[in-house]
A and B are shown apart, each in its own frame.
Chain A
């Protein structure tokens, strides 16, 4: 506050804290989210390697880290710890990486910039939504290190295993801590989502009509709606499971259930109810985990294909359609749960219907690329791979949607293959692309293209080596979530395949060194860039790189949509959104 004159050390440190730590600036908050989630990405990846190690060489001693982690077992992973591993891998990746990196990092950074606002509608609330992630980080971290084993209920936390302290002897308070952590993530996301919606509805620059919004913003907007409507239900369910564990209610515990030779605390509840409430959130959550990525990919593809996005409005409608349908399909996770068979049929049909808007999007991306002169930059490579991988992940999803097929492949590696194709090969690759794409805006410097391409090709090859093989495993019924599936002689011959996957997975994680180095090096030493290094149309590219406090040094007024590329009329081959039409009369007068 006391701007002029010399500041005391206290004032200096306070201004540092309010600028970079408890900042209310959406860009700082976005970067805070970005750095936190990238760190968790590393953690989640290492957890995955633990799982892979066990599946490739079960019960063998882990080199180096084994003796450090499990000295009691002589460097082996115990079955209970394996359960903790896959629970934590999924939890970290879903709740601490993918959701917050899309909505938290990119949502925060891009929404005000792309709609022409100086900040979010409620900056303090925005700050809170980041700092509420910290209790969650600590709680889940504590849950992992709780003796003797961390939370082991799976990321789905199905009761009665998870609802009863007695059921999983290894995870007494760990599961409770886990639930509390998830509840905090829920509060954080909820605060973020209502704030994003208000900002997008109310704070668009003059002329920025809803149908001039870039697809990224549409993705973020629809995601915020999904979160606002779906998340409270998970919070409610999570609180109920917490009271089941802590206070002896029995919402999810059936009557007279006997666990470890003693009758369950109280009873009369329904385990199936948890599944309904959980998937009512968690199916929309898979769209929360991909719609913003789809939006960002649309922007990148249009920019590097130098062509208008093929079918902008159908894209918007299909995103909305996916979101709407996404709410009525959750039962496809419960085909074998004992739910009313009538519902199974309904959910099967509605799930199949989601393929339609998804296909619309895919064909529109292909239509955008069609006949264009593609600039194969690193972000474009990642975006193209997103489209290709999403097709694989989407098609394998249709297999699962069919009840009869799902009865066979339920809980096999086919499922694991499917969601890794959508979430890693899809979303995570799109996120890498988006980081390469918006990095110049965030830090005012370019990332190294050569390193970026090496990073892309290595990741692309090894991710397919790891995840494509899972389809083969799943097709023969290889079960997920078992510490040692080879205990069944049927699966013994699949171990070499698993060894191959593990080698690929290790190499895939290792390839990220190129990214990490490039990212950190470029923040400090990358070549400085101007406002619009990619020659894009979006409003964010008209702001300084990096944008100062308040984002814009002029009043942005929007005259056109975000995808007017490759115009033969213009000197440049693109029309930024702020460029007034050549004729005198503006298309839309600013609102005053």
Chain B
């Protein structure tokens, strides 16, 4: 374990300017990949592939920033204590929201528009069939 009394950086400097510039070039290169993929019609015609590539690239960029710019590569084991819980929790939160998206996409239909009521306050309400507001609320939330 390193000397814990001070910033632990005083003695040895880990990142040289050259190393940071290499990471910088790497980040630019990865950004370029994302940009190209996002604007490539062939790849984006099956969007899932494009999304996956772009998210993978973003994760790689995030790793570069954390490892080098945030010095995690050179830190002692405390880095796991302070970073992993939040990472797990955040990913878990996102994952748990997915089943409901699936539920909603599967049960989504345009008929809900038809059942939705039109406002009765409209000045020329003549040709807007005034549905029951209560029914519309039920329909909109009850899927």
Which residues of A approach B to under 8 Å, CB–CB?
160, 225, 229, 233, 254-263, 270-273, 276, 280, 327-328, 331, 338-340, 342-343
Contacts and interface: CB of A to CB of B under 8 A. Distances in A.
Interface centre among A225, A273, A338, A342 (most CB of B within 10 A): A338
A327 B133 contact: no
A474 B142 CA distance: 25
B76 interface: no
A262 B119 contact: yes
B72 interface: no
B92 A259 contact: no
Given A270-B104, A340-B103, A259 B137 contact: yes
A256 B96 contact: no
Contacts of A256: 112-113, 116-117, 136, 140
Contact of B93 (A233, A257, A271): A233
B137 A257 contact: yes
A342 B112 CA distance: 24
Contacts of B100: 270, 272-273, 276, 339-340, 343
B96 A276 contact: yes
B126 to A, nearest CB: 16
A254 B108 CA distance: 12
B97 A276 contact: yes
Interface in B88-104: 89, 92-93, 96-97, 99-100, 102-104
Contact of B119 (A229, A263, A271): A263
Nearest to B140: A254
A257 B85 CA distance: 39
18 contacts: A225-B85, A255-B112, A255-B116, A257-B116, A257-B136, A258-B116, A258-B118, A258-B119, A258-B137, A261-B120, A262-B119, A262-B121, A263-B119, A270-B100, A276-B97, A280-B93, A338-B142, A342-B99
B16 interface: no
Interface centre among A160, A258, A327 (most CB of B within 10 A): A258
A225 B88 CA distance: 14
Contacts of A160: 137, 141
Nearest to B97: A276
Interface residues of B, number: 28
Contacts of A340: 99-100, 102-103
Interface string B65-109: 000000000000000000001100100110011011011100000
Given A270-B104, A276-B96, A327-B92, A255 B140 contact: yes
B124 interface: no
Given A261-B120, A327-B92, 9 more contacts: A225-B85, A233-B93, A255-B113, A256-B116, A257-B116, A257-B141, A270-B100, A331-B96, A339-B99
B68 to A, nearest CB: 25
A328 B113 CA distance: 35
B143 interface: yes
Contacts of A272: 100
B83 to A, nearest CB: 13
Interface centre among B100, B102, B103 (most CB of A within 10 A): B100
What are the 3 tightest A-B residue pairs by CB atom distance, in nearest-first order? A256-B116, A254-B140, A340-B103
A159 to B, nearest CB: 9
Interface string B119-143: 1110000000001010011001111
A340 B119 CA distance: 31
A339 B136 CA distance: 19
A271 B141 contact: yes
Contacts of A229: 85-86, 89
A276 B99 CA distance: 12
Nearest to A592: B5
B92 A261 contact: no
A338 B143 contact: yes
Contact of B92 (A257, A260, A328, A338): A328
Contacts of A257: 116, 136-137, 140-141
Contacts of B120: 261
B103 A339 contact: yes
A254 B143 CA distance: 11
A327 B121 contact: no
Nearest to A347: B96
Contacts of A262: 119, 121
B118 to A, nearest CB: 7
Contacts of A261: 119-121, 133
Contacts of B142: 338
Nearest to B130: A261
Nearest to B133: A258
Given A229-B85, A261-B121, A340-B99, A254 B141 contact: yes
Interface in B6-22: none
Contacts of B85: 225, 229
Interface centre among A225, A256, A257, A339 (most CB of B within 10 A): A256
A338 B104 CA distance: 10
Contacts of B133: 258-261
A552 B100 CA distance: 54
A342 B133 CA distance: 31
